[in-house]
Amino acid sequence: MAVVVVESPAKAKTINKYLGSDYTVLASYGHVRDLPPKDGSVDTDHEFAMLWEVAADSRKHVKAIADALKTDDTLILATDPDREGEAISWHLQEALASSLKKGKTVRRVTFNAITKAAVLEAMAKPRDIDARLVEAYLARRALDYLVGFNLSPVLWRKLPGAKSAGRVQSVCLRLIVEREMEIEAFRAREYWSVKAQLVTPRGAEFEARLTVLGGKKLDRYDISTAEAAELAVQAVISRDLTVQSVEAKPATRNPSAPFMTSTLQQEASRKFGMGAKACMSAAQRLYEAGHITYMRTDGIDMAPEAVMAARDEIKRRFGADYVPDSPRMYKNKAKNAQEAHECIRPTEMAASPDGLRLEADQRKLYELIWKRTLASQMSAARLERTTVDVGSADGQVTLRATGQVVMFDGFLAIYEEGRDDEGEDDGRLPQIMQGEPAKKQGVTPEQHFTQPPPRYTEATLVKRMEELGIGRPSTYASVLTTIQDREYVRKDKNRLFPEDKGRLVTAFLTNYFKRYVEYDFTADLEAELDDVSAGDRNYKEVLARFWRDFSAAIAETADLRIGEVLTTIDDFLAPHLYPPRADGSDPRVCPVCHAGRLHLKTSRGGGAFIGCGNYPECRYTRPISVAGDEEAAGERVLGEDPDGVPVWLKTGRFGPYVQKGEATEEVPKPPRASLPKGWSPADMDLEKALRLLNLPRPIGPHPDDGVLVEAGIGRFGPYVKHGSKYANLPEVDEVFEIGMNRAVEVLASKVVRGQRAAAEPLKVLGDHPDGGVMSVMAGRYGPYVKWEKVFATLPKEMEPESVTFEDALVLVNEKALKGGKKKAAPKRAATAKKPAAKKTAAKKPAAKKAPARKTAKTEE
């Protein structure tokens, strides 16, 4: 017998079905070793020797494999077919060294799809662990450790409030910040176009755009004002128009290549708004279930047998006309393409989405992959593009109409790629004959303004990183997740916005570690790592060259003072922090005292804000994200309350607020109230301020028990309160208007909602082997699995919708054993290991090391 090791229990279960009882298939649950998050884990003085440690939550998995090897002589490492999978196999071999001394055999197998044929074929062709891929992994891991472990402390000391910096993460953040600065620096330019609705002699209508005026071809900005546009309109109206030319040209559109990791993430984002992390999670499950080939790849070629299967399926579904004469071949254009993998494709071309039982996200993603794969081997679409010029006899005016007709749909019959920049598709034109008149039905001018570059979506950011050669396909999802988790970037309506913290980190790195956030430097380093995996470079030489310059850059920051750093960042971010004011005054002059100048400052608790240099005489402050009109509103008196006390509008480091009176020795903290979300400082008046300052507002005694019911605005928004019970209100304005009937209704519905949320599961998974239903529930502190009186919290990376019966069984069994409440089902006890790893990392005090370890892996 042989022991086969894979990464996950789901993968182990699928492979075990194919191999049968002659093999013991176990899961390593990912990486079993990592660098301890402490100084010296990479010894730069001794050829970058690396100190590895078996993670606490991995020891039991390693022991389970070692125990199996006591009776089995062969260890088969069947981890994923990429650099990371090779590294996991190497770590397992090293960690199991003591169990492999007595004549045991270690072999490595890889398969690109978890199908019976692919697995059995791989088992028949075992090999040794690929030392070159392992060295490429070691180089990458060491680089990420050296950057993260040495650069992050510099950030913590010199830039209060910053969390950490990673090798690829910092470059990705720079892309987002620089795009935002482009948007802020953008100044719109006005221009006009003129369109005419024309009619043929047969009564058919079509639209044409003015392209020649005064005998001169128009450029985009030639009509720059409303007056010029009106003159152009009159020039068209005053002339008779005739069709001068009709030109029809054939055209073809070829299908896109099949998916690789980055293009799958891009298309899932465009079509479904699916983030990179969610996309890869769904793809992982499809792969482990045997539905698709390996999903971390930058290869776009397809196995010959898969190509033929696709052509057969196309012919069966659409007919012979949709199959090209010869198979289509695709070549990767990415700068750092090096993984010799297939594209992402279905394992069975005939397996349409309708014939598979899949969860919602997996179904959408599988259908996308299936359609794209078939389309990539289909005939081109044939089009006819028509251009019609309509003009005046004197040549002073010409208008152009364009149209497009699909003569044969080809691959468009099944799939069309999404676009980041949606343009106007040319519609079909009516029959138009050269020399015939074109009657005017209406001529209209249209005003336009140039638009700033769009903010990145996850799709366009992945595309840009790929173009620059930054990062690897397998790292994009973790890099994007990391910069959002650290609150450097936020995602709003699928667009990525840099947070103030992210701007500060980018400004610091750009000024003090410029080389290491340059796009070319990062891409060149990726190329060197690829050379290591190809056997063309020595990984220790790559590390030595990098560390020599990087350590010198770190040393240069030792004597930096925080004040000096803030001054540098203040100047770097000046266009964002101090935009031009509407009145043309100096944007750095304090809007309150008009004497001090505004500067970037840090607070005791970390974070940054803008404050007046005339402190303590002037205490004006504002967040660094507040500028322009909001800042110009400044600090002002809104009026006096009925007792004659002045009511102020002020701006603090946490945003604008209203205050009654001034701070004195007798009243060091006068009444204050922050402006609710959506309230603009420019619109504030005395009435609004007094309404805020008088909150919470008493509504009256509750009709059931006489306890006071109040309305107010709290940390989580507007609410009504009855004793210790709170219920949220949908709108801020309702706080000032709500009566008792409405308040009682809101409070009652909150109780009902709370009961229903506790009673209605998000997902019913089935009966536990020991009896009792297992369900996924929504809890106050996150989703969990419920089984009778056992409640097991879901790991952070596990989405409620993706929880399977096996996942739930593992979670509740482990929780039951830990709490001593029930016995785990005998059949499943061996699988109840996965959550222990995750729970330990989340709950035990020692788990504080886990984030650093995880960060180091995905820091990039």
Q: Are the beta carbons of 713 and 695 closer than 8 angstroms?
A: yes
Q: DSSP states of 83-148 as a string?
A: HHHHHHHHHHHHHTGGGSTTT-EEEE---SB-SHHHHHHHHTS-B---HHHHHHHHHHHHHHHHHH
Side chain identity at residue 164, one-letter code: S
646-671 exposure pattern, b = at least 16 Cβ within 10 A, e = fewer: ebbbbbbbeebbbbbeeeeeeeeeee
**pLDDT for 604:** 59
Q: Are the beta carbons of 454 and 176 closer than 8 angstroms?
A: no
Side chain identity at residue 133, one-letter code: L
- Tens-digit pLDDT profile for residues 676-703: 887 878 778 888 999 999 999 999 999 8
Q: Are the beta carbons of 198 and 479 closer than 8 angstroms?
A: no
**pLDDT for 835:** 40
How far apart (Å, rounded) are the C-alpha atoms in residues 323 and 591? 70
Per-residue confidence band for 805, with pLDDT thresholds at 50, 70 and 90: confident
- Tens-digit pLDDT profile for residues 463-497: 899 889 888 777 888 899 999 988 899 988 889 99
**pLDDT for 220:** 92
Which two structure tokens, joined as six digits, stand for 5?
């090791």
Would you say residue 758 has pLDDT above 80?
no
Our answer to whether residue 287 is catalytic in this structure is no
The gap from C-alpha 103 to its chain's centroid, in whole angstroms, comes to 48
Q: DSSP states of 564-608 as a string?
A: HHHHHHHHHTHHHHSPPPTT---TTB-TTTSSSBEEEEE-TTS-E
Would you say residue 855 has pLDDT above 60?
no
Mean pLDDT calculated for residue range 510-539: 90
**pLDDT for 630:** 46
Of 374-383, 628-637, 713-722, the least confident: 628-637
Long-range own/partner contacts, residues 685-693 (CB < 8 A, 24 or more apart): 685/638, 685/639, 686/638, 686/639, 686/640, 686/647, 689/638, 689/639, 689/647, 689/649, 689/658, 690/641, 690/647, 691/736, 692/658, 693/641, 693/647, 693/658, 693/660
Would you say residue 68 has pLDDT above 60?
yes
Q: Are the beta carbons of 859 and 166 closer than 8 angstroms?
A: yes
Mean pLDDT calculated for residue range 526-550: 91
How far apart (Å, rounded) are the C-alpha atoms in residues 32 and 54? 6
**pLDDT for 821:** 47
* Residues found in the chain: 860
Q: DSSP states of 338-362 as a string?
A: ------B-BSSTT--GGGS---HHH
How far apart (Å, rounded) are the C-alpha atoms in residues 384 and 407? 7
**pLDDT for 207:** 95
**pLDDT for 831:** 38
**pLDDT for 843:** 40
How far apart (Å, rounded) are the C-alpha atoms in residues 612 and 571? 16
Radius of gyration over every alpha carbon of the chain, rounded to an integer in angstroms: 33
Mean pLDDT calculated for residue range 759-781: 80
Instruction: Please state, rounded to an integer, the average pLDDT across all residues of the chain.
Output: 85
- Tens-digit pLDDT profile for residues 222-269: 999 999 999 999 999 999 999 999 999 999 999 999 999 989 999 999
Nearest in space to 776 (alpha carbons), one of 766, 789, 788, 762:
762
- Tens-digit pLDDT profile for residues 91-150: 999 999 888 877 789 999 999 999 999 999 999 999 999 999 999 999 999 999 999 888
Contacts of residue 694, defined as CB under 8 A and 6 or more positions apart, other chains included, come to none
Mean pLDDT calculated for residue range 500-527: 89
**pLDDT for 540:** 94
Residue that wins the pLDDT comparison between 26 and 639: 26
Tokens 């992050």 identify what position?
152
**pLDDT for 842:** 39
Side chain identity at residue 125, one-letter code: K
- Tens-digit pLDDT profile for residues 428-467: 899 999 999 999 999 999 999 999 999 999 889 998 998 8
Which two structure tokens, joined as six digits, stand for 360?
């919602």
Distances (CA, A) of 767 to 778, 806, 830, 834: 19, 11, 19, 20
Of 60-69, 147-156, 165-174, 332-341, the least confident: 332-341
Tokens 């019609």 identify what position?
388
Would you say residue 797 has pLDDT above 90?
no
Per-residue confidence band for 850, with pLDDT thresholds at 50, 70 and 90: very low
Percent helix, percent strand, percent coil in the chain, to nearest 5 = 40, 20, 35
Q: Are the beta carbons of 635 and 650 closer than 8 angstroms?
A: yes
Helix or strand holding residue 675 (H, E): none
For the four alpha carbons of 502, 506, 507 and 512, in that order, the dihedral sign comes to positive
How far apart (Å, rounded) are the C-alpha atoms in residues 102 and 215? 92
How far apart (Å, rounded) are the C-alpha atoms in residues 692 and 697? 9
How far apart (Å, rounded) are the C-alpha atoms in residues 62 and 56? 10
Residue that wins the pLDDT comparison between 752 and 749: 749
Annotated catalytic residue: which of 23, 29, 191, 294?
A: 294
Q: Are the beta carbons of 743 and 709 closer than 8 angstroms?
A: yes
Q: Are the beta carbons of 494 and 273 closer than 8 angstroms?
A: yes
**Residue 508 burial (10 A CB sphere; 0-12, 13-18, 19+):** buried
User: Hey, is 834 helix, strand or coil?
Assistant: helix
**Residue 800 burial (10 A CB sphere; 0-12, 13-18, 19+):** middle
**pLDDT for 756:** 43
Of 293-302, 544-553, 669-678, 790-799, the least confident: 790-799
The gap from C-alpha 138 to its chain's centroid, in whole angstroms, comes to 27
Nearest in space to 808 (alpha carbons), one of 11, 6, 9:
9
